[in-house]
């Protein structure tokens, strides 16, 4: 077989939802891995990616449909954190995907980040299926390992079936309150036309997993063939910048379309300007293994989309997560590409007030910086920004912010999100009278900044 029989790339599916609804565990269940138990505090704090080849999906869904014709080479699943602090990673994941799985805990119904995720999906018009997870926690559940949900449900007592229907009805009502119509997938005649499908699942005993996989793959291949048609134009996004023992600074990327080769000249957006380098190694985890987990990697001479890839190259230390990666082709002018690569950065910069009066804003990624600038611009807030930065707050940032002490004292302030002020920077700030506000949690951040802003206006 091989990939050549397909002219469709693998759909990219983002898995989203409130903390501890079982996103990572669902992927563990499909992979046959144990990533979740290795996570600090049992919570996901990074964005991840796993490639599921079609043959593994066929194997896993054969009970439901033998030799299913999947029409795509596989499925690339992006795992995101559900914890409230990681809105930026949920946003990055949902910005990359063709389709999504929204996970809801059947015992809890819709929760805060379920609704946040739902809003991200609505905003981008992304289709999704709902995994109504943890059905095995219904009192008296009889395990039917890896069974289709219809078959598993038939095995249950009247009491279990009753509790299931009650909780399902409640969840459907809660979605309705969010303006979303939902229905059990096998009863949904209106899928993709306004009614979203619910697949009951268990990540522990695997009921409903065949249903979830088959529905997702067949539905995307059928309804999104145009979007999934393979193209030679490289479309690639930097997910994370990481130091990996034995590999130096690497970038984890999602190759959405096109092909990458070892030795390719690439350009990525850097904190101090465009980074021009060449791919030293193209690495992937083995199929059904998680990209974000340290392990052994497969080396490739070339990789075709869609894939989650670790790239090793020189000079990546200051690459910015959330930006695009560009290839320099033989006929390309590298200067044009450098310009394109910095475009993300420039569009953010252009929003900074040119009059030179305003606060200083610092964030961990370009994406979160943009979100902050957007917030500060809203009419209710309307706080001018005179300078921006990415990464920790250093003395030089305090110096820049201190310029405002002469002009508008209240703007001699650094609003820092998801980054720390170095001790030296804090000391200098205290000494000269620059305020540094830091926050790690976006929700809290907005509240804190609002309090600060209200204070300013008084
Ligand atoms: P974050 O990434 O931190 O947002 O959490 P998550 O959504 O990835 O959830 P995770 O996979 O970490 O699971 C959270 C807890 O729920 C773990 O203790 C899992 O073992 C448990 N869990 C997940 N799925 C199921 C399920 O289907 N049934 C039962 N009984 N427990 C589950
Ligand atoms: Mg997780
Ligand atoms: Na968790």
In sequence order, the 6+-apart residues with CB closer than 8 A to the CB of 119 are none
pLDDT at 178: 96
Q: What is the three-class DSSP state of 196?
A: strand
Q: Higher-confidence residue: 458 or 327?
A: 327
pLDDT digits (tens, 9 = 90+) for 408-417: 888 899 999 8
Tokens of 176: 């309705």
Which residue of 38, 203, 211, 212 sits with most ligand 1 atoms within 8 Å of its CB, as the best mutation to test the pocket?
A: 203
Query: pLDDT > 90: what percent of the chain?
Result: 68
CB of 47 closer than 8 Å to CB of 68: no
pLDDT digits (tens, 9 = 90+) for 98-111: 999 999 999 999 99
pLDDT at 418: 79
Query: Which ligand gives the minimal distance to the CA of 26?
Result: 1
Please give the number of the atom of ligand 1 that sits closest to the Cα of 19: 4
pLDDT digits (tens, 9 = 90+) for 31-66: 999 999 998 888 888 889 999 999 999 999 998 999
Q: What is the three-class DSSP state of 405?
A: helix
Place of tokens 């465009």: 274
**251: burial class by Cβ within 10 Å (0-12, 13-18, 19+)?**
buried
pLDDT at 6: 66
Please give the number of the atom of ligand 1 that sits closest to the Cα of 25: 11
How are strands ordered across the β-sheet holding 248-257?
235-244, 248-257, 307-312, 281-285, 297-300
Tokens of 393: 């707050």
**Does the Cβ of 133 fall within 6 Å of ligand 1?**
yes
Mean pLDDT over each residue of the chain, to the nearest integer: 91
Q: Over 80: is that where the pLDDT of 88 sits?
A: no
Place of tokens 């990074």: 46
pLDDT digits (tens, 9 = 90+) for 223-259: 999 999 999 999 999 988 888 888 888 999 999 999 9
Tokens of 279: 């791919």
pLDDT at 4: 43
Q: Over 70: is that where the pLDDT of 443 sits?
A: no
CA of 42 to the centre of ligand 1 (A): 8
Query: pLDDT > 70: what percent of the chain?
Result: 96
pLDDT at 349: 78
Please give the number of the atom of ligand 1 that sits closest to the Cα of 113: 4
Q: Over 60: is that where the pLDDT of 446 sits?
A: yes
């Amino acid at each position: 077989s091989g990939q050549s029989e397909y002219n469709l790339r693998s759909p990219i599916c983002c898995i989203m939802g409130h903390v501890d609804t079982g996103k990572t565990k669902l992927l563990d269940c499909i992979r046959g891995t144990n990533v979740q138990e290795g996570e600090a505090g049992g919570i996901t704090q990074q964005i991840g990616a796993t490639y599921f080849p079609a043959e593994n999906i066929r194997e896993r869904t054969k009970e439901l449909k033998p030799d299913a014709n999947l029409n795509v080479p596989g499925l690339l699943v992006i795992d995101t954190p559900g914890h409230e602090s990681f809105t930026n990673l949920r946003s990055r994941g949902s910005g990359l995907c063709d389709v999504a799985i929204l996970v809801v805990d059947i015992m809890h119904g819709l929760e805060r980040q379920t609704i946040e995720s739902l809003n991200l999906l609505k905003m981008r018009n992304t289709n999704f299926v709902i995994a109504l997870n943890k059905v095995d926690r219904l009192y008296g559940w009889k395990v039917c390992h890896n069974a289709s949900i219809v078959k598993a449900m038939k095995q249950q007592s009247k009491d279990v079936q009753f509790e299931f229907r009650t909780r399902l009805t409640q969840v459907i009502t809660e979605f309705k309150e969010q303006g979303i119509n939902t229905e059990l997938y096998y009863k949904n005649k209106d899928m993709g036309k306004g009614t979203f499908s619910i697949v009951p699942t268990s990540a522990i005993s695997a009921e409903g997993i065949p249903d979830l996989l088959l529905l997702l793959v067949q539905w995307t291949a059928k309804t999104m063939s145009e979007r999934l048609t393979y193209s030679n134009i490289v479309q690639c996004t930097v997910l994370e910048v990481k130091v990996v023992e034995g590999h130096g600074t690497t970038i984890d990327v999602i190759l959405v379309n096109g092909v990458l080769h070892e030795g390719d000249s690439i350009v990525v957006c850097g904190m101090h300007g465009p980074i021009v380098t060449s791919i030293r190694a193209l690495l992937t985890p083995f199929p059904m293994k998680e990209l974000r987990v340290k392990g052994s990697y497969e080396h490739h001479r070339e990789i075709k989309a869609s894939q989650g890839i670790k790239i090793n190259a020189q000079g990546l230390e200051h690459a910015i997560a959330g930006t695009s990666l560009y290839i320099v082709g033989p006929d390309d002018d590298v200067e044009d590409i450098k310009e394109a690569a910095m475009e993300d950065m420039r569009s953010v910069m252009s929003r900074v007030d040119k009059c030179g009066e305003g606060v200083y804003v610092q964030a961990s990624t370009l994406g979160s910086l943009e979100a902050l600038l957007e917030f500060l611009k809203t009419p209710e807030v309307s706080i001018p920004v005179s300078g921006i930065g990415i990464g920790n707050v250093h003395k030089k940032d305090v110096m820049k912010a201190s310029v405002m002490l002469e002009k508008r004292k209240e703007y001699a302030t650094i609003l820092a999100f998801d980054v720390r002020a170095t001790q030296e920077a804090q000391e200098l700030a205290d000494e000269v009278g620059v305020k540094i506000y830091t926050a790690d949690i976006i929700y809290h951040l907005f509240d804190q900044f609002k309090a600060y802003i209200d204070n300013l206006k008084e």
